[in-house]
């Protein structure tokens, strides 16, 4: 449906990098017909995709309101909202945003580039959210110095040429804040995936970047995922897709949006011309791209009911992040093997690492992935030294829940159905039309826990409720070995290394060896050591950050050592009974038999027999 609106109704922003050295964006918001009772505006408290209250309004440095050019009163209502005095219009708000957060979640500006998410820069005009939103993106004032700056964003150009400063637009506020913007002298890599233009803008110096390889590998990932959800039409859910990549010395992260993603990676992760090896860093980077791209379907369109629409003022609780983050984590590496970028052995090695990592934390025995999802705001996103003993990751365990369900459906239907069918059903029912033209600004429908349970049984033809209860809402370890066996994959305990360990995580502080966390049930825990303790000596020999392992390696399981440590600068002595690693670890390997199982496995990983 197309409705005609007068241009009077728009909400108009102008954003300009005002002071690059002070990291300030200057924004003007013009509301043509403000609320006659006094217009309320606010900045989101969180950014969708990152489930923590971040209170972005704290970065607004100055703000003032004008009515037809005259200054009027602006009253602050709470930590992120303001109300302007009555104004017949137009109402203008002028404000500065401090942008010095080098992450994918906020905004960053200096002489080398600018980046912003709308959640950090664009005030929401209450009551006007469903109107068209227009934004002029302007270059820094000193035109000559920044003459080569370009713009990369998936926002729709209204009066702007591709990659140029100018006027961009969105149908509503929800869309406006879902297209981050990068500006600067980035390198641009372009390719198409099933006919849809894709690009990656790379900010930061990367000598000898193998951009042809990057484009070819990304194309494989994107085409595989498009075909997974739309095997017949191969139709992508967007007209255009943009990867915004910030390259730093040491960093990793990504945040998904409906037609783009913001990424941070380490320089050493990107491929070098003439070096065709698949380094671990590059494989991890491709996994990150694959993960964020998969979110284009799973969480940006197929969404939990409480995200349709988001309430950006406060926490939006959902027990379903195991599906939206966990399943996305399952498909990110699975895409790499299915697209031929890694082999079967490497893929099973990645699963082994995930499984063994989860088994290290006793938090998995106390919190289900449904509970971890619900408490993401206060626990997963705010991890302290006790996290391994209290929190389970809905990413990693959620990915194993997906694996378990996929293997179970494949075995139970002799390969006729799989998790792919469940994802496609979710897509058809909830995702495909989520942003389709809607009546009066209503949003598409999100999915509930009960919907998911019912859908699994319907699509698989199996009874999976008990398994879902156990895997998602329970805290026992997943019955993965049995599920693997049906696909001719062995999961066997590895023999425990004879060398003793403390079962701690350490942090290097200068030359000091500080305990970052102490794992429940391990030797350090039983001896009374605590996170924060600085290890000093073992049996009178100095311990440093670099020699702890070598020092411990001189002892055998069953030995007792005297360990000195500082706690709040007071020297303490501990008697530690060294024991073998208390956690069972596994090896996961492909087998030739049974033949039927091996055939199912090849179909699962789409590798040749
Ligand atoms: Zn994710």
Task: Dump pLDDT digits (tens) for 61-99.
Answer: 999 999 999 999 999 999 999 999 999 979 999 999 999
Count of helices and strands (H, E) across the chain: 17, 29
Residue indicated by tokens 């406060």: 314
Q: Kindly state the helix (H) or strand (E) to which residue 286 belongs, with its residue range.
A: helix 280-294
Q: Predicted confidence band at 427 (pLDDT cuts at 50, 70, 90)?
A: very high
pLDDT digits (tens, 9 = 90+) for 394-412: 999 999 999 999 999 999 9
Q: Is the peptide bond before 90 cis (omega within 30 degrees of 0)?
A: yes
Give the CA count within 13 Å in the CB-facing half-sphere of 415.
Answer: 13
> What is the model's pLDDT at position 3?
38
pLDDT digits (tens, 9 = 90+) for 155-203: 999 999 999 999 999 999 999 999 999 999 999 999 999 999 999 999 9
What's the CA-to-centroid distance between 275 and ligand 1, angstroms?
Answer: 30
> What is the model's pLDDT at position 518?
97
Give φ, ψ of 397 to 5 degrees. Answer: -65, -35
Residue 272: DSSP 8-state: B
Mean pLDDT of 10-26: 97
Whether the CB-CB separation of 189 and 206 falls below 8 Å is answered with no
What's the CA-to-centroid distance between 524 and ligand 1, angstroms?
Answer: 34
Any residues with CB less than 8 A from the CB of 311 and at least 6 apart, and which?
Answer: none
Q: Predicted confidence band at 217 (pLDDT cuts at 50, 70, 90)?
A: very high
Q: Is the pLDDT of residue 267 over 60?
A: yes
Q: Kindly state the helix (H) or strand (E) to which residue 328 belongs, with its residue range.
A: helix 327-338
Task: Give CB contacts under 8 A, 24+ apart, made by 188-191.
Answer: 188/150, 188/152, 188/163, 189/214, 189/215, 189/218, 190/215, 191/215, 191/216, 191/218, 191/219
Residue 572: DSSP 8-state: E
Helical residues (DSSP H) of 413-500, grouped into ranges = 419-426, 449-460, 465-473, 480-485
What's the CA-to-centroid distance between 93 and ligand 1, angstroms?
Answer: 34
What's the CA-to-centroid distance between 270 and ligand 1, angstroms?
Answer: 21
pLDDT digits (tens, 9 = 90+) for 442-479: 678 899 999 999 999 999 999 999 999 999 999 999 99
Q: Is the peptide bond before 243 cis (omega within 30 degrees of 0)?
A: no
Mean pLDDT of 420-437: 93
Average pLDDT, the chain: 95
CA dihedral 398, 399, 405, 409 (to 10 degrees): 160
What is the C-alpha separation between 155 and 422, in angstroms, rounded?
A: 31
What's the CA-to-centroid distance between 291 and ligand 1, angstroms?
Answer: 6
What's the CA-to-centroid distance between 292 and ligand 1, angstroms?
Answer: 6
Q: Predicted confidence band at 438 (pLDDT cuts at 50, 70, 90)?
A: low
Any residues with CB less than 8 A from the CB of 503 and at least 6 apart, and which?
Answer: 518, 519, 521, 522, 523, 524, 525, 581, 582, 583
What is the C-alpha separation between 92 and 115, in angstroms, rounded?
A: 24
Q: Predicted confidence band at 10 (pLDDT cuts at 50, 70, 90)?
A: confident
Mean pLDDT of 246-275: 97
Three-class DSSP category at 492: strand
What's the CA-to-centroid distance between 268 and ligand 1, angstroms?
Answer: 22
| pLDDT over 70 percentage in the chain | 97
Q: Predicted confidence band at 251 (pLDDT cuts at 50, 70, 90)?
A: very high
pLDDT digits (tens, 9 = 90+) for 482-528: 999 999 999 999 976 667 889 999 999 999 999 999 999 999 999 99
What's the CA-to-centroid distance between 474 and ligand 1, angstroms?
Answer: 22
What's the CA-to-centroid distance between 408 and ligand 1, angstroms?
Answer: 24
pLDDT digits (tens, 9 = 90+) for 316-334: 999 999 999 999 999 999 9
Label the pairing between strands 181-184 and 150-153: antiparallel
What's the CA-to-centroid distance between 120 and ligand 1, angstroms?
Answer: 20
């Amino acid at each position: 449906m197309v409705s005609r609106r007068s241009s009077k109704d728009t909400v108009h922003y102008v954003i300009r990098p005002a002071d690059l050295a002070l990291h300030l964006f200057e924004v003007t918001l013009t509301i043509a017909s403000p609320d006659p009772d006094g217009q309320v505006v606010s900045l989101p408290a969180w950014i969708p995709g990152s489930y923590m209250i971040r209170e972005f309004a704290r970065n607004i440095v100055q703000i003032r309101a004008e009515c037809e050019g005259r200054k009027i009163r602006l009253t602050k209502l709470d930590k992120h909202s303001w109300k302007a005095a009555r104004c017949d219009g137009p109402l203008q708000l002028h404000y500065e945003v401090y942008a010095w957060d080098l992450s994918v979640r906020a905004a960053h500006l200096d002489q080398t580039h600018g980046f912003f998410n709308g959640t950090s820069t664009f005030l929401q005009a209450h009551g006007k959210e469903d109107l068209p939103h227009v934004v002029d993106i302007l270059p820094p004032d000193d035109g000559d110095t920044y003459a080569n700056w370009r713009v990369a964003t998936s926002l729709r150009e209204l009066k702007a040429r591709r990659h140029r400063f100018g006027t961009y637009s969105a149908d509503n506020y929800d869309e406006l804040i879902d297209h981050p913007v990068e500006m600067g002298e980035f390198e641009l890599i372009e390719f198409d995936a099933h006919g849809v233009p894709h690009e990656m803008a790379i900010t930061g110096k990367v000598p000898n970047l193998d951009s042809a390889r990057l484009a070819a590998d990304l194309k494989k990932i994107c085409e595989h995922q498009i075909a997974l959800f739309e095997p017949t039409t191969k139709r992508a859910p967007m007209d255009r897709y943009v990867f915004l990549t910030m390259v730093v010395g040491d960093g990793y992260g990504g945040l998904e949006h409906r037609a783009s993603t913001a990424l941070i990676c380490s320089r050493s992760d990107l491929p070098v011309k003439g070096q065709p090896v698949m380094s671990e860093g590059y494989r991890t980077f491709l996994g990150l791209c694959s993960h964020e791209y998969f979110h284009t379907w799973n969480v940006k369109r197929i969404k939990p009911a409480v995200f349709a629409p988001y309430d950006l003022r406060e926490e939006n609780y959902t027990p379903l992040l195991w599906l939206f983050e966990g399943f996305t984590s399952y498909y990110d590496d699975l895409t790499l093997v299915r697209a031929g970028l890694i082999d079967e052995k490497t893929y099973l090695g990645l699963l082994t690492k995930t499984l063994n990592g989860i088994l290290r934390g006793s938090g998995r025995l106390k919190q289900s992935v449904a509970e971890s999802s619900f408490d993401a705001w206060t626990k997963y996103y705010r991890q302290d030294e006790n996290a391994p003993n209290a929190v389970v990751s809905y990413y990693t365990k959620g990915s194993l829940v997906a694996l378990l369900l996929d293997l179970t459906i494949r075995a139970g239907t002799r390969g006729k159905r799989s998790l792919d069918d469940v994802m496609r059903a979710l897509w058809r029912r909830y995702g495909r039309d989520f942003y389709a033209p809607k009546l009066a600004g209503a949003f598409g429908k999100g999915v509930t826990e009960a919907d998911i349970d019912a859908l699994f049984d319907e699509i698989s033809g199996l009874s999976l409720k008990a398994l879902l209860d156990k895997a998602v809402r329970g805290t026992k370890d997943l019955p993965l070995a049995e599920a693997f066996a049906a696909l001719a994959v062995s999961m066997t305990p590895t023999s425990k290394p004879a060398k003793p360990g403390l079962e701690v995580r350490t942090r290097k502080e200068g030359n000091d060896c500080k305990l970052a966390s102490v794992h429940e049930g391990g030797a350090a825990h039983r001896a009374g050591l605590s996170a924060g303790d600085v290890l000093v000596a073992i049996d009178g020999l100095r311990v440093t950050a670099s020699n702890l392992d070598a020092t411990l390696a001189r002892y055998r399981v069953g030995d007792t050592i005297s360990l000195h440590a500082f706690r709040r600068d007071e020297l303490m002595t501990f008697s530690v009974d060294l024991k073998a690693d208390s956690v069972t670890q596994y090896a996961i390997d492909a087998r030739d038999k049974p033949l039927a199982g091996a055939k199912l496995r090849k179909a699962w990983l789409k590798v040749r027999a």
